[in-house]
Chains A and B, each alone.
Chain A
Amino acid sequence: QAVVTQEPSLTVSPGGTVTLTCASSTGAVTSGHFAYWFQQKPGQAPRTLIYETNNKHSWTPARMSGSLIGGKAALTLSGAQLEDEADYYCLLSYSGAWVFGGGTKLTVL
């Protein structure tokens, strides 16, 4: 089974920019992996921010965007706000089988 790797933790200053990445043990992440990004705050269910690499949910802030960078899926936050402090999980699809990354704890400080 593939392993999906994320940065365990990242810190960004308010107003700053940070990029979270999602790597696959099988090689480069492509559009065929239908990358998803989820945000989870303590005590809450995850919510979808990005689906199929770069599509935003209706509630996804404009400052968040998804892409493929250097063979990885990426979530970029431009102009971070205190409310963005949360755990972020990526998800890759391998011919229908899902594999989650271990999550990135984002601190806004």
Chain B
Amino acid sequence: QVQLQESGPGLVKPSETLSLTCTVSHNSISRVYWNWIRQSPGKGLEWIGYIYDSGNTNYNPSLRSRVTISLATSKNQFSLNLSSVTVADTAVYYCARAGVGLPVAWGQGTLVTVSS
């Protein structure tokens, strides 16, 4: 069964770039969407965007100007960069795999705090 694990700094300064990596193991399925989702403390889930196996991306319009998702297939990893962060970007960040006919598989999540 596929497993996903987020990694990256837990603390980022305002105006800097948040960078996270998701490492995927035991995935034997192609034509899937690799997603990033976040959850601010005490709030609901917010979709950030995805990258497809082909490299095509789709981002939440509210974050599009600051988000880049990239894929490193040779390392079984995909990454999130979120630029110009503010305290409003403090959240638990989840990576997730989705695809047609598949349930969404989630990582455990990683808390990123934006603070000086």
Contact residues of A with B, CB < 8 Å? 1, 36, 38, 45-48, 51-52, 55, 57, 89, 91, 96-103
Contact = CB atoms under 8 A, between A and B. Distances in A.
Given A98-B35, A99-B47, A1 B106 contact: no
Interface of B: 33, 35, 37, 44-47, 50, 58, 60-62, 94, 100-109
A19 B44 CA distance: 20
B58 A96 contact: yes
Given A97-B58, A100-B46, A103-B45, A48 B105 contact: yes
Given A1-B62, A46-B94, A100 B44 contact: yes
Contacts of A103: 44-45
B42 to A, nearest CB: 11
A47 B94 CA distance: 12
A103 B46 CA distance: 11
Contacts of A46: 45, 94, 106
A98 B47 contact: yes
A48 B58 contact: no
Contact of A45 (B47, B61, B101, B109): B109
B103 A102 contact: no
B35 to A, nearest CB: 7
Contacts of B103: 36, 48, 51, 55, 57
Contacts of A98: 35, 47, 50, 60
A61 B111 CA distance: 30
B23 to A, nearest CB: 15
A92 to B, nearest CB: 10
